[in-house]
């Protein structure tokens, strides 16, 4: 307990999270936004990736491991920067981040490419997030890479949500939100809530599912997707099919067609039938699709609801939230709100609902600005400045301060050259 408390105190210092770690903003009598972006990189990933390096370094000391840990990361935008910030200059580690060159916002790219630290490396790939994630997973078992690591007394680990250490801290903030609602007399003890999560890799909503399994009173988990709506179709039909068009959207953290953490949910819903899960995953690898059993689909339908919002609906929702509540939200949060509104109209469900707000709107200032005022076509820092004036709010300091930082990383490789890039970096 003392070791864990030490890790937590170091990770969640007020100076990193501005004193308000995960506040609830009430939209109306039913909907509450759980703001998870008050950390040093302005995204919900900070909640896990500020803690994970402390857990990892403590574990290394306890086990007596004498190898250097190489953190290998694929990112659709937010994970990369949060992991870089968490692991910068952490003794005994290196961190390598790959991101899709045209699949992140300008601010996200700048956050990564200006990253400080002597043990950090960033590289763009000519491909999408699924390409990066698949290559990263493959490298963990690539014999050439394993031998290169062994020769340098190194070993791989991950900061993606395939690492269980990413999911554990995320369970906490859903329980925290429930406690906040109790404290503010918004709900009664034991009263069930809904939770809405905008997600592509299924990690954040899986954390909410585990919170429910641990006893948190949850009525429905609402999975919100953008135009890459493979999860919506899966929840509604039981068929997972990634053989479809891939869209680059204004909500890049959901631009994913291979949702890694779904494997964990299916394992749980199947009663731990690893052979069955293995068949599904092999089918996904070989054919791009699989269909779960009627039993799994029924269990999933008892808890999960799937919905999606296209670009036009996302933009419309950003404007409606600002016009109605004078509240700025980022595109991912807007997708979640849009899907929640769809669900509420279709179901008539009046359950109090927590909506995960996953990133600062200023990370996507150009899209947020254009949604609220279509006449404004600014990008980068010009968009941030204009959004501050329009909304009478201030951009977070970590984003505003990027203006002064020199770009350190400009390397880009083809998706097929990632192994070579890793070997060169190591």
**Phi, psi of 71, deg, nearest 5:** -85, 120
Burial bucket for residue 415 (CB in 10 Å: 0-12, 13-18, 19+): middle
List, in sequence order, every beta strand (DSSP E) within 133-287. 154-158, 193-198, 218-225, 239-241
d(CA 43, CA 41): 6
Tokens of 391: 């909304």
Q: Is 313 a catalytic residue?
A: no
Tokens of 133: 């994630």
Selecting among 15, 26, 45, 415, the annotated active-site residue is: 45
d(CA 289, CA 298): 19
Say what the alpha-carbon torsion angle 217, 221, 222, 225 is, to the nearest 10 degrees. 140
326 C-beta neighbours (distance < 10 Å), count:
10
- What distances in angstroms separate CA 98 from CA 140, 165, 323, 409, one per listed residue? 15, 20, 37, 11
* 351: helix, strand or coil: coil
d(CA 216, CA 174): 8
**Active site residue ranges:** 45
């Amino acid at each position: 307990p003392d070791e864990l408390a030490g890790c937590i105190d170091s990770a969640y210092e007020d100076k990193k999270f501005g004193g308000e770690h995960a506040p609830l903003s009430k939209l109306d009598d039913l909907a509450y936004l759980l703001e998870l972006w008050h950390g040093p990189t302005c995204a919900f990933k900070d909640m896990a990736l500020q803690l994970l390096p402390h857990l990892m370094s403590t574990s290394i000391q306890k086990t007596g491991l004498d190898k250097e840990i190489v953190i290998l990361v694929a990112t659709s935008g937010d994970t990369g920067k949060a992991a870089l910030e968490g692991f910068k200059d952490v003794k005994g580690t290196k961190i390598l981040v790959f991101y899709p060159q045209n699949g992140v916002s300008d601010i996200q790219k700048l956050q990564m490419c200006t990253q400080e630290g002597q043990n950090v490396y960033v590289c763009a790939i000519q491909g999408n997030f699924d390409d990066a994630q698949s290559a990263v997973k493959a490298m963990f078992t690539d014999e050439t890479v394993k031998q290169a690591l062994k020769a340098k007394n190194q070993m791989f680990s991950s900061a993606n949500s395939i690492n269980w250490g990413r999911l554990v801290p995320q369970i906490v903030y859903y329980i925290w939100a429930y406690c906040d609602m109790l404290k503010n007399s918004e709900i009664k003890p034991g009263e069930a809530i809904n939770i809405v999560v905008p997600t592509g890799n299924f990690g954040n909503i899986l954390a909410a599912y585990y919170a429910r399994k641990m006893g948190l009173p949850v009525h429905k988990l609402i999975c919100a997707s953008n135009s890459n709506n493979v999860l919506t179709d899966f929840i509604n039909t039981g068929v997972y099919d990634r053989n479809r068009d891939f869209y680059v959207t204004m909500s890049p953290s959901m631009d994913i067609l291979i949702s890694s953490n779904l494997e964990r949910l299916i394992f749980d819903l199947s009663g731990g039938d690893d052979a069955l899960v293995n068949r599904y995953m092999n089918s996904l690898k070989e054919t791009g699709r699989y269909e779960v059993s009627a039993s799994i689909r029924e269990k999933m339908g008892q808890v999960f609801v799937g919905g999606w919002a296209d670009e036009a609906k996302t933009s419309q929702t950003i404007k409606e939230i600002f016009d109605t509540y004078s509240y700025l939200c980022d595109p991912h949060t807007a997708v979640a709100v849009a899907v929640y509104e769809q669900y509420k109209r279709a179901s008539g469900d009046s359950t109090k609902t927590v909506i995960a707000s996953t990133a600062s709107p200023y990370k996507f200032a150009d899209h947020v600005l254009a949604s609220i005022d279509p006449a404004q076509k600014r990008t980068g820092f010009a968009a941030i400045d204009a959004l501050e004036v329009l909304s009478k709010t201030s951009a977070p300091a970590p984003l505003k301060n990027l203006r002064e930082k020199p770009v350190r990383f400009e390397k880009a490789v083809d998706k097929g050259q990632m192994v070579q890039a890793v070997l060169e970096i190591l």
